[in-house]
C-alpha cells in the first residue's frame, strides 16, 4: 500500500507541475491542498490519514497539539532550512522526521526593489488610473539617484539590496545592533550611529532583520515619527518587526509619504483588514519567496527528502 503525502498551501496549484515527482510516485500518493489551513482543527482534519506532509514556509504552524492529532505522520518537509512554527521537540516525541530544503535570497531582494520602485513612482495608482479613465498623471515621482537608502539589517538579503541601491546612485546607510563598520565597508554602505539616526536621515527605509525578541516591535510610533514626511518604509522581512497599528496611523496622518509591505500579522490577510484600505500603502500577499526558481528548489528538494526518507537515509534534517 502506498504512503499518502499531503502538499499544503499550494495556492497556485503548481507543486506537482514545477518539478518531477516520479522518483517517489511508485511509493507515495500525492494529494495537494490549495486552501489555507487556518487553525489546528482545520489542519488536523485535513491531514488525518497522511504519512507525509510537505508544508510551505511558515504558513501553517505545527504545534504539539497538531502532532498529537496526526498519529500516522512520519515525515514533515518544510521549505527552507529555518522554521519558527514547528515544535521540533513534539515532532521527536511523536516519531516524526522533519526535513528542509534550500531557499534562495534572490526573490525577496527583487521583490523589495519592485515594491520600492512601485512606491517611488506611483506605479499602482497611475496604472489603475490609466485603465479606468482616471487622470493622466496624478503623482510626482520620488527620485532614487542621490537619495539615501537606510537598511535595517545587512545580512545576505540586506547586502544584496544595498548593492542595487548603490547601482542606482543612492547613498546607502545601514544599522543593526551587532553591525560592524567592517561589514558596511565590505558592502559599500555607511554604518549609521544608531537606529534613530538612520530613520531620521533616510529617504527610503527597508527592513531586513530576522524576527526575535530584540527586533519584535522595533519600528513603532516613536520610530515612525522620526522619519521624514517625504520618506517611505518597505518591509519584506517579518510583520512583527513593524507595529502595524502604528504604521497605519502614520499613513493615515501623512507622517510618512508611504509604505510597502509583503508580510502581515495574520496570513492570509482577512478580507476586512484595514491594511487593505489604508492610503499610501502598497501591499502584496507575501510574494517574497514566490518565484518559479524557488519553487523548483522547494519541491524538487522535497522530492529528494521523501526519497531519502523512504530509503532510510533522511537528508537535510531540521531541529
Positions annotated as catalytic residues are: 238, 267, 286
Using CA atoms, how far residue 50 sits from 67, 95, 192, in Å, is 12, 14, 51
Question: Do 100 and 316 meet the contact criterion of CB atoms below 8 Å apart?
Answer: yes
* String of DSSP letters for 123-185: HHHHHHHHHHT--S----PPP-TT-EEEEE--SHHHHHHHHHHHHTT-EEEEE-TT--HHHHH
For the chain, the straight-line distance linking the first and the last C-alpha, in angstroms and rounded, comes to 30
Dist. CA 286–CA 237, nearest whole Å:
10
CA angle 73, 78, 81 (to 5 degrees): 135
Question: Do 5 and 51 meet the contact criterion of CB atoms below 8 Å apart?
Answer: yes
* String of DSSP letters for 55-103: E-TTSS-B-HHHHHT-TT--EEEESSS--SSB-HHHHHHTT-EEE----
Residue position matching grid coordinates 502581515: 264
- In our burial notation (b when 16+ CB lie closer than 10 A, e otherwise), range 169-179 reads ebbbbbbbeeb
**How is residue 282 written as a grid cell?**
502598497
**How is residue 1 written as a grid cell?**
500500500
Amino acid at each position: 500500500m502506498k504512503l499518502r503525502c499531503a502538499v499544503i498551501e499550494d495556492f497556485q496549484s503548481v507543486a506537482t507541475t514545477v518539478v518531477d515527482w516520479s522518483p517517489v510516485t511508485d511509493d507515495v500518493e500525492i494529494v495537494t491542498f490549495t486552501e489555507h489551513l487556518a487553525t489546528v482543527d482545520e489542519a488536523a482534519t485535513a491531514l488525518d490519514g497522511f504519512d507525509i506532509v510537505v508544508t510551505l514556509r511558515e504558513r501553517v504552524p505545527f504545534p504539539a497539539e497538531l502532532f498529537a492529532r496526526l498519529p500516522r505522520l512520519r515525515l514533515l518537509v518544510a521549505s527552507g532550512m529555518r522554521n519558527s512554527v514547528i515544535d521540533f521537540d513534539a515532532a521527536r516525541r511523536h516519531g516524526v522526521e522533519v526535513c528542509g530544503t534550500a531557499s534562495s535570497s534572490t526573490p525577496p531582494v527583487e521583490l523589495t526593489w519592485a515594491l520600492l520602485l512601485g512606491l517611488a513612482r506611483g506605479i499602482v495608482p497611475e496604472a489603475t488610473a490609466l485603465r479606468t479613465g482616471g487622470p493622466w498623471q496624478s503623482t510626482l515621482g520620488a527620485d532614487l539617484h542621490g537619495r539615501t537608502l537606510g537598511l535595517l539589517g545587512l545580512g545576505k538579503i540586506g547586502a544584496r539590496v544595498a548593492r542595487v541601491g548603490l547601482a542606482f546612485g543612492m547613498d546607502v546607510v545601514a544599522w543593526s545592533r551587532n553591525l560592524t563598520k567592517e561589514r558596511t565597508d565590505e558592502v559599500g554602505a555607511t554604518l549609521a550611529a544608531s537606529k534613530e539616526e538612520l530613520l531620521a536621515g533616510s529617504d527610503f527605509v527597508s527592513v531586513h532583520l530576522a524576527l526575535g525578541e530584540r527586533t519584535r516591535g522595533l519600528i513603532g510610533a516613536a520610530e515612525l515619527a522620526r522619519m521624514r514626511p517625504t520618506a517611505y518604509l518597505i518591509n519584506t522581512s517579518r510583520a512583527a518587526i513593524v507595529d502595524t497599528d502604528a504604521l497605519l496611523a502614520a499613513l493615515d496622518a501623512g507622517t510618512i509619504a508611504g509604505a510597502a509591505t509583503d508580510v502581515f500579522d495574520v496570513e492570509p490577510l482577512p478580507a476586512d483588514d484595514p491594511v487593505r484600505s489604508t492610503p499610501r500603502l502598497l501591499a502584496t500577499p507575501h510574494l517574497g519567496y514566490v518565484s518559479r526558481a524557488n519553487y523548483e528548489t522547494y519541491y524538487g528538494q522535497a522530492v529528494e527528502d521523501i526519497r531519502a526518507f523512504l530509503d532510510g537515509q533522511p537528508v537535510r534534517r531540521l531541529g
